Structures are given as structure tokens and as C-alpha cells.
Structure 1
């Protein structure tokens, strides 16, 4: 039996349920099935017979490559223009552009 003085804290995570009574530590258990989860946290399958983990990896890889290309184009364009400005002898040295930290990070 549990004493009335014990205080149990229940934490509900995305994929598991944990309880902490302070004396015996924390005990976690995964949810038994997806219907327990709210609808916005359930994974909806788009294509059957393919592992969900592999689908997520493929979509994440595609998004990553798309973002890299979207970042690479403007950074390369600005870097090209700065390099042309540095090499241009007609520009006064006071007004010559320089490579900034943001271009190096990009």
C-alpha cells in the first residue's frame, strides 16, 4: 500500500509514460499502441509496405538537399560579386568590398 505522504508525479511524453515517486526513482513505459496517442501525434502512412523510418529518412534527405541548394545559390552569387569588386582596379580602395563573416559561414 502507498502511504498518503508519498507524492507521485506522472509525466506524459510523446512516446512513453513515466512516473516518479521521489523515493524509488523514475519508471517509464512506452505506450502499448498508437490509438492512445492524440490524432496530431499519430503517424499517417502514405505508402504501404515501406518502413516508416526509411520514408522519414528519404524525405528529410530530400528537404536537406533542397535547403542546401537554396542557400548555395545566393551565397555564391554575393561571394562572386564581392570578389569581382575586390579585383576591380577602378574602385577606390576606400569603397572596395570585403568578405564578411556571413559569407564565410554561408
Structure 2
């Protein structure tokens, strides 16, 4: 029963990892990091501006929104430039973490000969999730701080102020999922006890168990024969 529960925990971690990957890709691609703030004189202006890592989107009144990629990297503020690199790194880390953790799961054939190796692989996967959590959280919080600082800057006009877009909130949620996944995997490593290792080999190596039993029986017969001879 305990082993089945551990397997379910590993599957949960795998599902959370895949969801985190989808979230990481989404916030990297979405242009809704910064959105227009409809305050003051900007309330009556029927214009909406969205800024992302790769493009800006503009809509006037009820017309269709038009998006355009940035003409140059140099026109981007520092937080968006850093966000590009860190978010691409996050995607790579999450993909690698999913591959590594899959090799460390109990039901996979990788490293079946040693549960200690599986523990090491699973711990590496959990650590990668924690690192990807940081590389996702840093740009999201950096851009959020920039938006809030500019919003309360008295020298900024109403048309220049921005609000937190949906990508920021998705980024926070994704960072939380990455953190939870990493913690689950690291706790899972610490819970693999010697008893589970014995159960592990009983389930996955029945032939080896039969050989050991046969050797024990043969040894008992030899001992009995020696005693009778004496």
C-alpha cells in the first residue's frame, strides 16, 4: 500500500512538471506582461497597449488587435531583456528536469539495478525544478517591481503608466507549481527506506529471489547430508 502511494506521488509530480512546462512556455510567449492602465485622463482613450518579451500589441477602440515584434533588442528595458534570457533558460531547465525525473521514477526501467541511483537521479530532477522556479520568478518579480514603481512615479503621465498583465499572474502560479514539484521530488528521495528497497527487488526481480531461495535450499541439504555422514 505504501509503495502504491509513493507511485501516485511520483505520477503527481510528473503531471505538475508537465503543467509547469506549459505555463512556462505560455508566459514566455504571451504579450501581456505590461498592459495599459486606464486611469485619469486615460479612461476616455479607447486604446489598449500590451507589452511582452517579444512583441507589443495595440488595439484602438473595437478594432482587431495588431501585434508587432520589437524592431531592436536595444529598445527593450533591462527587465524585459533579462526576462527573455531567463525565461528561455527556464523552459530548457523544465524540459531537462522532466526527462531526468522520468528516469528516476520507480516504474521506469532506467537504473533498475540500484534504487540508490534512482534516488540520485530523482534528486537531480527535483533540484532542476527548484532552479527553474528561481529563473521564472526573478524576471516575473523584476517586471512587476518595474511596473509598480512606474505606476506610482509622479513624473509619469497617465498614458505611460502600465498595470500587471495576465502573464505576470500566470508566472507566479507557474513558479509555485515548480517549487511544489521540486519539493515533492526531494521529499520522495528522503522517504525511500531500506524496507522499500527490499520490496522494490521483490517486485521487479522475482527471478533473482528464486535463485536465492534455491541456493538456501541447496545449502540446507548439504548441511543435512554432512550431519548424517558424521
* TM-score, structure 2 normalization: 0.25
Q: Which has the larger helix fraction?
A: 2
Q: Which runs of 4+ in 1 moved over 2 A?
A: 41-45, 48-53
RMSD over equivalenced CA pairs, Å: 2.5
Residue 96, structure 1, aligned to residue 149, structure 2: no
Displacement after TM superposition at 1:67 (Å): 0.3
Indicate the residue corresponding to 2:176 in structure 1. Answer: none
Residue 87, structure 1, aligned to residue 167, structure 2: no
Alignment of 1:17-32 (within 5 A): none
SS of equivalent residue, structure 1 residue 51: helix
SS of equivalent residue, structure 2 residue 162: coil
Indicate the residue corresponding to 2:143 in structure 1. Answer: 78
Within 1, Cα distance between the matches of 2:111 and 2:118?
A: 12
Alignment of 1:6-45 (within 5 A): 43=110
Structure 2, unmatched stretches of 5+, are: 1-107, 172-230
Query: Aligned pair count?
Result: 64
Within 1, Cα distance between the matches of 2:152 and 2:122?
A: 44
Within 1, Cα distance between the matches of 2:145 and 2:164?
A: 10
SS of equivalent residue, structure 2 residue 164: coil
Within 1, Cα distance between the matches of 2:154 and 2:137?
A: 28
Given that 2:111 and 2:118 are in contact with CA atoms closer than 8 Å, whether structure 1 keeps it comes out as: no
Structure 1, unmatched stretches of 5+, are: 1-40
Within 1, Cα distance between the matches of 2:132 and 2:144?
A: 18
SS of equivalent residue, structure 2 residue 169: helix
Within 2, Cα distance between the matches of 1:54 and 1:44?
A: 10
Alignment of 1:37-56 (within 5 A): 43=110, 51-56=116-121
Higher relative contact order (CA 8 A, sep 6+): 2
Given that 2:111 and 2:117 are in contact with CA atoms closer than 8 Å, whether structure 1 keeps it comes out as: no
Indicate the residue corresponding to 1:58 in structure 2. Answer: 123
* TM-score, structure 1 normalization: 0.51
